[in-house]
Structure 1
Amino acid sequence: MEVQGKLIEKYETSKINDSFRKREFVVEYVENPQYPELLKFDLIQDKCDLLEEFNVGESLKVEFNLKGRKWTDPSGNDKYFNTLQAWRLSTVNAAGSNSGPAVTDSGSANEAIGESFSEDDDLPF
């Protein structure tokens, strides 16, 4: 999954234990300009450093996995949690995309069609 938006906030990396670290950040995602969404993402382990090259206010593309889990509280009630776990961050250029449009060479396709069919071909229909 991926979204593009503006980096609103980035937090420091938290060391959960000796072998696990996590970093959170918030992106403003505008699907409907009247109601922009503020999405909190997590980066884990070596991915925590990906956020260093971005400043608050910059546009970026976030590629992420949607993670979900169940937890049962001490009184036996089930709770469900979702996490947006980012694994790639990239800069979005001024046009709103981080890559140019796909380029196809339609001229060579037309030439190939022209070579296959010629004026003197007799078709049975």
Structure 2
Amino acid sequence: MELQGIIKKVGEVQTFPSGFQKREMVIVTEEQYPQPISIEFLKDKGDLLNQLHEGDKVKVSINIGGREWTSPQGEVKYFNSITGWKIEKVDSMGGNEPTQASPSTTTSAPAQGSNVFEEDEDDLPF
């Protein structure tokens, strides 16, 4: 799965007593209702963030994980984690950014005299 957005924050490396390391980054999605998404980079994957800065537009390959936890009182809770494993800068000037065809190039007017309600056999919806 992939997420794309603008980097809002790049955290420092956190090292735990066991030697385990993680680094967090927050991106803000670019959609009608932008969402700040926190993504963890575990172990040596934290190094992927070294050359990135706030304001960079990126595409992040992620895994989503979930786990169940039972409190000492017996209450069951569920937690999700988003873990990044690959990241690439997206050039807003057309470099790696996916391009979309404009609607005028993908649709055409019906031929004169044809029935617009009649379906073509090879007319795919995508």
Question: Which consecutive residues of structure 2, in runs of 5 or more, have no partner in the other structure?
Answer: 100-126
1:15 corresponds to 2:4: no
Counterpart Cα distance in 2 of 1:84 and 1:90: 17
TM-score by length of 1: 0.73
For the pair shown, which has the larger CA radius of gyration, 1 or 2?
A: 1
Among candidates 58, 61, 68, match of residue 60 of structure 1: 58
RMSD, aligned α-carbons = 1.7
Secondary structure in structure 2 of the residue aligned to 1:68:
strand
Instruction: Find runs of 4+ consecutive structure 1 residues off by over 6 angstroms.
Output: none
Q: Tell me the number of residue pairs that the alignment of Structure 1 and Structure 2 aligns.
A: 99
1:88 corresponds, among 80, 86, 89, to 86
Letter in 2 for 1:68: G
Which residue is equivalent to 1:105?
A: none
Code of the aligned partner of 2:35? E
| Structure 1 residues 96 and 9: CA distance shift in structure 2, 3 A | farther
Residues 65 and 87 of structure 1, relative CA distance in 2, 3 Å threshold: same
Question: How far, CA to CA, are the matches of 2:35 and 2:47 in structure 1?
Answer: 24
1:44 aligns with 2:49: no
**Which one has a larger percent helix, Structure 1 or Structure 2?**
1
How far 1:18 sits from its partner (Å)? 3.3
Residues 24-35 of structure 1 aligned to structure 2 (within 5 Å)? 24-32=24-32, 35=33
Cα distance in 2 for residues equivalent to 1:91 and 1:17: 33
Q: Percent identity?
A: 36
Structure 1, residues 14-50: CA drift from partner, whole Å, max 9, x if none? 0123331111110001221xx2100000000010110
SS where residue 96 of structure 2 aligns? coil
